[in-house]
């Protein structure tokens, strides 16, 4: 008898018909002789609707109350799914995050799971119950309800799979697997049969919304056997594993992109030993997350420093820089909004030099100006104009022949 964690995302539980479809899938697994722990998201777009509800009252809701509000979304799904299974005669219990023993750090809206008291679930499993857990939520040591960040139900599922030492964790969603890029944006995107944890982690961090980055981190750290597949179409999904076992020869395996990027340039800062550290410790102290950083030394006295942020943080960042002008001693701040980040990812880059060059040439050939670059061993990211984002992704998808991938199975 295998222990299986199955997670169903928002679209997959979007209405009563779909919840009944989920119940069927769970029942099939149980009838196959396996034990099942189910993790569900809030129904359809209901988390967005709850956010909108709060916005009707205040532009700046407290994070504690937001967590209180948003955690109700998943609570609706667990109870309805439990009822659907009970109606079919199956012994089931639904659990909120705190009832399932998911302990998080004391941080609202984007908390990390720090502990999992697994007996809360195993006690039910040993009595033969199907356990249904609310994704995306936990509780702090002091009893405060927290949420794990948007898309965090994936993390709940993988954390439970790791803690329970489940035989596998299946993420059921509205696409048939992990694609070379978002199939809703690029119609030539191809489904991958397998992808490594490291590649998936880069893609998730760089904007591929199909998996929550922390879920991939957990999977890698605890070697969870993780699959992404469709809740609606009967088709083999994508296996996320230590090393991609199919389509091994791809240099670039996927493309990720995100819009809403702003570039800030701090011009004419003194070119001294503490300039960079002053600037970035000030930003960090004000909770401003910086992505790409470029330093341009002008002469022995002056340096320009550019960095990218999420555009939502623009006003706050400018305020912080203005407020610290007397310490940072810059001459001028410039900023450019309406940018996007487009990244290529693939473990094959380690052993294939020149991939960045091919990317830059390919973009320049279609007239796309690159404004910033950052690289790691297995990725190259470029910041470009947001209006050219889709064209860039389509161009690179073709350049690296990702549209030619044949559907191979394991």
Span interacting with ligand ASP, options 55-63, 151-159, 228-236, 347-355, rule CB under 6 A: 151-159
How far apart are CB 304 and ligand ADP at their closest, in Å? 34
Task: Scan residues 152-171 and list those touching ligand ASP (CB under 6 A).
Answer: 152-153
Report the residue number, 9 or 14, with the smaller CB distance to ligand ASP. 9
Report the residue number, 174 or 403, with the smaller CB distance to ligand ADP. 174
- Is 10 annotated in a binding site? The answer is yes
Q: Is residue 59 classed as helix, strand or coil in its secondary structure?
A: coil
Q: Which of 175, 201, 240, 250 binds ligand ADP (CB under 6 A)?
A: 175
Do residues 359 and 373 make contact, with C-beta atoms less than 8 angstroms apart? Answer: no
Q: Is residue 317 classed as helix, strand or coil in its secondary structure?
A: helix
Q: Which residues contact 83 (CB under 8 A, 6 or more apart)?
A: none
Do residues 301 and 362 make contact, with C-beta atoms less than 8 angstroms apart? Answer: no
Q: Does 9 bind ligand ASP (CB under 6 A)?
A: yes
> The tokens 């944006």 sit on which residue?
185
Task: Scan residues 219-278 and list those touching ligand ADP (CB under 6 A).
Answer: 254
- Is 291 annotated in a binding site? The answer is no
Span interacting with ligand ASP, options 41-49, 57-65, 194-202, 223-231, rule CB under 6 A: 41-49
Q: In whole angstroms, what is the distance from residue 268 CA to residue 285 CA?
A: 22
Q: Which of 14, 138, 151, 207 binds Mg ion (CB under 5 A)?
A: 151
Task: Scan residues 3-22 and list those touching Mg ion (CB under 5 A).
Answer: 9
- Is 9 annotated in a binding site? The answer is yes
DSSP character string of 116-184: E-THHHHHHHHTTPEEEEETTEEE-TTS-EEE--TTTHHHHHHHHHHHTT-SEEEEEESSSS-BSS-TT
Identify which of 340, 345, 397 has the alpha carbon closest to the alpha carbon of residue 369. 340
Do residues 382 and 355 make contact, with C-beta atoms less than 8 angstroms apart? Answer: no
Span interacting with ligand ADP, options 8-16, 26-34, 283-291, 294-302, rule CB under 6 A: 8-16
How far apart are CB 219 and ligand ADP at their closest, in Å? 15
- Interaction partner, residue 136 (Mg ion, ligand ASP, ligand ADP, none; CB < 5-8 Å by kind): ligand ASP
Q: Does 159 bind ligand ADP (CB under 6 A)?
A: no
Do residues 237 and 243 make contact, with C-beta atoms less than 8 angstroms apart? Answer: no
Q: Does 12 bind ligand ASP (CB under 6 A)?
A: no
- Is 275 annotated in a binding site? The answer is no
Q: Does 178 bind ligand ADP (CB under 6 A)?
A: yes
Q: Does 174 bind ligand ADP (CB under 6 A)?
A: yes
Do residues 400 and 344 make contact, with C-beta atoms less than 8 angstroms apart? Answer: yes
> The tokens 């083999």 sit on which residue?
236
- Interaction partner, residue 47 (ligand ADP, Mg ion, ligand ASP, none; CB < 5-8 Å by kind): ligand ASP
Q: Please state the three-class secondary structure of 214-281 as a single string.
A: HHHHHHHHCCCCEEEEECCCCCCCEEEECCCCCCCCCCCCEEEEEEEEEEEEEEEEECCCCHHHHHHH
Site of interaction with ligand ADP (CB under 6 A): 9-12, 41, 151, 173-175, 178-179, 181-184, 208-210, 254
Annotated binding-site positions: 7-10, 47, 74, 173-174, 184
């Amino acid at each position: 008898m295998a222990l299986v964690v199955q997670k169903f995302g928002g679209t997959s539980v979007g209405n009563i018909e779909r919840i009944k479809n989920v119940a069927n899938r769970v029942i099939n697994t149980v009838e196959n002789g396996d034990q099942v722990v189910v993790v569900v998201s809030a129904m359809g777009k209901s988390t967005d609707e709850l956010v909108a509800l709060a916005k009707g009252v205040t532009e700046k809701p407290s994070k504690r109350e937001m967590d209180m509000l948003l955690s109700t979304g998943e609570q609706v799904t667990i109870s309805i799914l439990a009822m659907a299974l009970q109606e079919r005669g199956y012994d089931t219990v639904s659990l909120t995050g705190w009832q399932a023993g998911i302990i998080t750090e004391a941080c609202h809206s984007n908390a990390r799971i720090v502990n999992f008291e697994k007996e809360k679930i195993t006690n039910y499993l040993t009595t033969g119950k199907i356990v249904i857990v609310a994704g995306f939520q936990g509780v702090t040591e002091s009893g405060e309800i927290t949420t794990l960040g948007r898309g965090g139900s994936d993390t709940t599922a993988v954390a439970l799979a790791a803690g329970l030492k489940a035989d596998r964790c299946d993420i059921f969603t509205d696409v048939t697997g992990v694609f070379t890029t978002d199939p809703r944006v690029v119609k030539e995107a191809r489904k991958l049969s397998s992808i490594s944890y490291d590649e998936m982690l880069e893609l998730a961090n760089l904007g591929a919304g199909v998996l929550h980055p922390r879920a991939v981190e957990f999977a890698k750290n605890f070697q969870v056997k993780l699959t992404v597949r469709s809740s609606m179409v009967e088709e083999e999904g994508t296996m996320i594993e230590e090393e991609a076992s199919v389509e091994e020869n791809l240099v670039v395996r996927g493309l990720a992109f995100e819009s809403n990027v702003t570039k800030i340039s701090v011009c004419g800062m003194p070119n001294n030993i503490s300039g960079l550290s002053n600037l970035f410790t000030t930003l960090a102290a004000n909770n401003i997350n910086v992505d790409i950083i470029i330093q341009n030394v002008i002469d022995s006295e002056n340096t320009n420093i550019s960095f990218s942020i999420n555009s939502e943080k623009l006003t706050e960042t400018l305020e912080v820089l203005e407020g610290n002008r007397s310490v940072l001693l810059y001459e001028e701040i410039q900023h450019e909004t309406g940018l996007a980040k487009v990244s290529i990812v693939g473990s094959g880059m380690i052993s294939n030099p020149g991939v960045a060059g091919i990317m830059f040439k390919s973009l320049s050939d279609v007239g796309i100006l690159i404004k910033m670059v950052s690289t790691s061993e297995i990725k190259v990211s470029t910041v470009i104009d947001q209006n050219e984002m889709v064209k860039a992704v389509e161009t690179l998808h073709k350049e690296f022949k990702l549209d030619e991938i044949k559907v191979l199975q394991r």
